[in-house]
Chain A
């Protein structure tokens, strides 16, 4: 679009300002629409669904190892206290609520835990994803508001991932749902299956089939979910970096030493770093600047591989050396939201780009960004 050439000849100063503002808003609107609503393939979200489902399944297994201590009537934080910590007894009431504040019988808790394990297992293998992913999200919130005091970054990130996965057809690939959909599509190619396409079968049925067994096609919902994960990650890193910037240890370079010298966190001995101050100081400074600039440098294609590569190194380091394997892994999983689906299956995406329709080249976010 021409910036100047679109102004009408003879327009006065007010007209020029008005036309300029309209043009600017138009470009803004176009950019917004392309960023949020241009359909996108679901490969990456399908991978994130598998990893997040597996992580949730594992965290529920671990809670089950000591169920009574975390959820029972004599838990570290009793159900009544968990409620009081949120309901305004000790300060301002929060918006949190959980039915687990009121239910603590051992039988109920075991059935509930078994159900949570089943739901997250189904999410991982991708069976009934349109139902089990929202269920996993709901149960996750109930657990989060019950387990006050025992939570950390892992729980924050798994919750954000399952929240956004719920919005998208994340079961349309690499899932049992996708296999069922393919079977159904093959049946439609037979005379009997074609009956499903008849008008008398009704659009509602076709809609239900498409909703519960989503086709492996680019979709707007996938884009919205992916963008929300990406932006949420940017907020996490930005504030993580800004907070670190308030501490002198990240500036004098000793922060990494103190992280390594923490006996409770360490899983491998890193005290040898003491003899290499240049190494740990460089790591501290690199981490600080990487976190602060992550929200800016992760978007351009030129710098994205560097930023994501650094993310893998930092979080793998946390997993291997600081004993937080689950947190390190889930952060790497979350960062994968910045991977273009076309990198995972270039053939499919290339074919889609060649074909007309919603997945045509001009509509992909990648190309939209390229245009900008």
Chain B
């Protein structure tokens, strides 16, 4: 007891506790700082040096977040559409997330985050020729593309297992649900779920002839239906 000021910890106790507090504050601040300073070539060198020594602890303690909620701008939503080969002819596509199925709301939000995760990790199947000449860009793209394919394949396998069908019977599509601008809404008063707001991000995608990592990309012939996730099921 440090009588005069009522502190119950002694000098050495306070010193040790202060050291631990400073480490924790470092852990709290490190990742948001590094994340906020990300540029085309990575984070600011100063932020990277600051975060480096505490990175592993921050990651294990789940402190490694950027806190960019609805930022820098509120953007469109991304969803997953899953078609099963047998049912595809009928144009049935299961949407993830789907508020009609995924209840309570937290379960819906978990599926929503998974769909956003698939979108956020997306890398194009090939690099533009000029980028291919940059070894750093190419190696980074190879790793990121492999990761996307692994996530894609894991999700596809999950749908197949849940539906009780072979993996090659499942086709996943990434959908983007665009946001209606204010002038557009005021002029047309369309529904927020208007089919014209949906973009099939997979449709224009050309998979690489030789997928990386030996992962098989579906080569099933699909009927040319484009049922928006918000449409008929």
Could you jot down 7 A-B contacts, CB within 8 Å? A36-B17, A81-B150, A91-B147, A96-B59, A244-B72, A258-B74, A363-B7
What residue in chain B is nearest A280 (Cβ atoms)?
B182
Q: Is A153 a contact partner of B69 (Cβ separation < 8 A)?
A: yes
Residues of A within 8 A of B79 (CB): 264
Q: Which residues of A contact B (CB under 8 A)?
A: 30, 32-34, 36-39, 58-59, 62-63, 65-66, 69-70, 74-78, 81, 84-86, 90-91, 94-97, 140-141, 144-145, 148-156, 159-160, 163, 219-220, 224, 228, 231-232, 235-236, 239-240, 242-250, 254-255, 257-259, 261-267, 271, 274-275, 277, 323-326, 357-360, 362-363
Q: Is B5 a contact partner of A34 (Cβ separation < 8 A)?
A: yes
Residues of A within 8 A of B21 (CB): 36, 224, 228
What residue in chain A is nearest B11 (Cβ atoms)?
A33
**A-contact bits for B1-24, CB 8 A (1 contact / 0 none):** 100011111000010011001001
Taking a contact as CB atoms closer than 8 A, the residue among B8, B105, B192 that contacts A271 in the complex is B192
- State the 10 A-B residue pairs at the shortest beta-carbon distance, nearest first: A363-B6, A247-B72, A95-B56, A243-B71, A149-B117, A95-B59, A74-B161, A90-B147, A247-B73, A243-B68
Give Cα A226 to B184, complex, Å. 47
Give Cα A76 to B193, complex, Å. 26
**A-contact bits for B135-173, CB 8 A (1 contact / 0 none):** 000000001101100110011011001100000000000
Given contacts A77-B114, A228-B21, A235-B28, 10 further A-B pairs with CB under 8 A are A38-B6, A78-B158, A81-B150, A81-B154, A95-B58, A97-B60, A149-B113, A163-B61, A247-B72, A360-B6
Q: Is B105 a contact partner of A267 (Cβ separation < 8 A)?
A: yes
**Is B217's beta carbon under 8 Å from chain A?**
no
Residues of A within 8 A of B107 (CB): 62, 65-66
Q: Is B60 a contact partner of A95 (Cβ separation < 8 A)?
A: yes
Given A247-B71, A254-B182, A271-B185, CB of A264 within 8 Å of CB of B151: no
Instruction: Give, as a whole number of angstroms, the nearest-CB distance from B27 to chain A.
Output: 10
Q: Is A69 a contact partner of B162 (Cβ separation < 8 A)?
A: yes
The dominant DSSP class at the B interface is: helix
Q: Is B25 a contact partner of A249 (Cβ separation < 8 A)?
A: no
The dominant DSSP class at the A interface is: helix
**Is B218's beta carbon under 8 Å from chain A?**
no
Q: Is B154 a contact partner of A77 (Cβ separation < 8 A)?
A: yes
For window 10-62 of B, CB contacts with A under 8 Å fall at 14, 17-18, 21, 24-25, 28-29, 32, 35-36, 55-62
* Residue tally, chain B, CB below 8 Å to A: 76
Taking a contact as CB atoms closer than 8 A, the residue among B28, B76, B114, B158 that contacts A231 in the complex is B28
Taking a contact as CB atoms closer than 8 A, the residue among A163, A239, A247 that contacts B67 in the complex is A239
What residue in chain A is nearest B107 (Cβ atoms)?
A62
Give Cα A86 to B62, complex, Å. 12
Q: Is B68 a contact partner of A240 (Cβ separation < 8 A)?
A: yes
Q: Is B73 a contact partner of A249 (Cβ separation < 8 A)?
A: yes
Q: Is A141 a contact partner of B105 (Cβ separation < 8 A)?
A: no
Q: Which residues of B contact A (CB under 8 A)?
A: 1, 5-9, 14, 17-18, 21, 24-25, 28-29, 32, 35-36, 55-77, 79, 97, 104-114, 117-118, 143-144, 146-147, 150-151, 154-155, 157-158, 161-162, 177, 179-180, 182, 185-186, 192-193, 230
Instruction: Give, as a whole number of angstroms, the nearest-CB distance from B148 to chain A.
Output: 9
Give Cα A76 to B64, complex, Å. 23
Instruction: Give, as a whole number of angstroms, the nearest-CB distance from B54 to chain A.
Output: 10
Taking a contact as CB atoms closer than 8 A, the residue among B70, B72, B109, B143 that contacts A246 in the complex is B72
Q: Is A220 a contact partner of B143 (Cβ separation < 8 A)?
A: no
Q: Is A69 a contact partner of B158 (Cβ separation < 8 A)?
A: yes
Residues of B within 8 A of A245 (CB): 72
Residues of B within 8 A of A140 (CB): 62
Give Cα A246 to B97, complex, Å. 29
Taking a contact as CB atoms closer than 8 A, the residue among A39, A250, A363 that contacts B73 in the complex is A250
What residue in chain A is nearest B150 (Cβ atoms)?
A81
Q: Is A33 a contact partner of B5 (Cβ separation < 8 A)?
A: yes
Taking a contact as CB atoms closer than 8 A, the residue among B14, B70, B104, B161 that contacts A37 in the complex is B14
Q: Is A235 a contact partner of B179 (Cβ separation < 8 A)?
A: no
Instruction: Give, as a whole number of angstroms, the nearest-CB distance from B134 to chain A.
Output: 17
Residues of A within 8 A of B177 (CB): 263-264
Given A358-B1, A363-B7, CB of A263 within 8 Å of CB of B193: yes
Q: Is A242 a contact partner of B6 (Cβ separation < 8 A)?
A: no
Residues of B within 8 A of A91 (CB): 143-144, 147
Residues of B within 8 A of A232 (CB): 28
Instruction: Give, as a whole number of angstroms, the nearest-CB distance from A366 to chain B.
Output: 13
Residues of B within 8 A of A360 (CB): 6
Instruction: Give, as a whole number of angstroms, the nearest-CB distance from A245 to chain B.
Output: 8
